[in-house]
């Protein structure tokens, strides 16, 4: 077996370091494959849902969120393949019509699985959308803390807050239409929960550090 000389080793290291697609950790590669695959799944599912949506407002939400997710799929795929800053900045997602939440439970029909495609309604479609976007926001968060490439890490982390906004927009749509009801505790129980914690007062008395003390 031929042994590598120091020169050959140096050349090999230089070639590896010079390859932009090699500035990733191994675990990071698996995480990004999961993130990009999940983005594709979200996009494909939204495309399938579109033909069944009846409410123009939900259709508008679906189309805007689809375009946002597609743009950020391209940004993520680009910086992942190059390891460098993408050619496009991460965009900001804005909720079009912010409304206050409706609290309380009103009587409604029990839910059950659809018996046919004729049973597919906006309530269920918006629920599927909520689950997909919520899951992707969680995946982006988990992946971003595992990424070693500084550019890719920032691209993933910067998307988290925007996908959270998308989640809240779908929640608002469901909530005001009675699809997602929000129960509340009694006033007494809620006040007890709210009063369970209080800010720290004064300066904490931290113990002295003994790690640098040398004993003989």
Say if residues 170 and 83 touch (Cβ distance below 8 Å): no
Compute the distance between CA of residue 61 and CA of residue 71 in angstroms, rounded to an integer: 16
DSSP string, the chain: -PPPPHHHHHHHHHHHHH-GGG-S-HHHHHHHHHHHHHHHHHHHHHHHHHTT---HHHHHHHHHHHHHHHHHHHHHHHHHHHSS--SSPPP----SS--PPPBB----PPP---SSGGG--HHHHHHHHHHHHHHHHHHHHHHHTT--SHHHHHHHHHHHHHHHHHHHHHHHHHHHTTSS-B----HHHHHHHHTS-----S---PPPP-TT----
Closest CA to 154 of 162, 163, 145: 145
Query: Residue 187: what are its φ and ψ, rounded to 5°?
Result: -60, -40
Compute the distance between CA of residue 101 and CA of residue 117 in angstroms, rounded to an integer: 31
Compute the distance between CA of residue 90 and CA of residue 31 in angstroms, rounded to an integer: 19
Q: Identify the pLDDT of residue 13.
A: 46
User: pLDDT in tens for each of the 216 residues of the chain?
Assistant: 455 554 444 444 444 444 545 687 788 889 999 999 999 999 999 999 999 999 999 999 999 999 999 999 999 999 999 888 999 888 899 998 898 999 999 988 888 999 999 999 999 999 999 999 999 999 999 999 999 999 999 999 999 999 999 999 999 999 999 999 999 999 999 999 999 999 999 999 999 998 766 665
Q: Identify the pLDDT of residue 26.
A: 80
Compute the distance between CA of residue 66 and CA of residue 73 in angstroms, rounded to an integer: 10
Domains of the chain with bracketed CATH: 23-104+120-188 (1.20.1260.10)
Can you tell me which residue has the tokens 């496009």?
88
Q: Identify the pLDDT of residue 11.
A: 45
């Amino acid at each position: 077996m031929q042994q590598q000389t120091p020169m050959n080793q140096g050349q090999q290291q230089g070639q590896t370091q010079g390859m932009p697609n090699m500035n990733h950790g191994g675990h990071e590669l698996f995480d990004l494959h999961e993130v990009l695959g999940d983005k594709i799944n979200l996009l494909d599912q939204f495309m399938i849902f579109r033909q069944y949506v009846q409410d123009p407002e939900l259709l508008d939400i679906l189309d805007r969120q689809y375009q946002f997710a597609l743009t950020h799929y391209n940004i993520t795929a680009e910086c992942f393949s190059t390891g460098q800053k993408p050619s496009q900045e991460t965009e900001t997602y804005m909720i079009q019509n912010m409304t206050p939440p409706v609290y309380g439970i009103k009587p409604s029909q029990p839910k059950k699985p659809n018996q046919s495609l004729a049973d597919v309604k906006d309530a269920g479609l918006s629920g599927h959308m909520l689950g997909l976007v919520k899951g992707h926001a969680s995946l982006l968060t988990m992946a971003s803390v595992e990424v070693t490439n500084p550019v890719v890490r920032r691209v993933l982390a910067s998307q988290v807050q925007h996908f959270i906004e998308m989640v809240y927009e779908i929640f608002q749509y469901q909530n005001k239409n009675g699809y997602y009801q929000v129960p509340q505790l009694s006033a007494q129980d809620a006040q007890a929960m709210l009063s369970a914690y209080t800010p720290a007062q004064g300066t904490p008395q931290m113990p002295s550090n003994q790690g640098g003390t040398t004993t003989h």
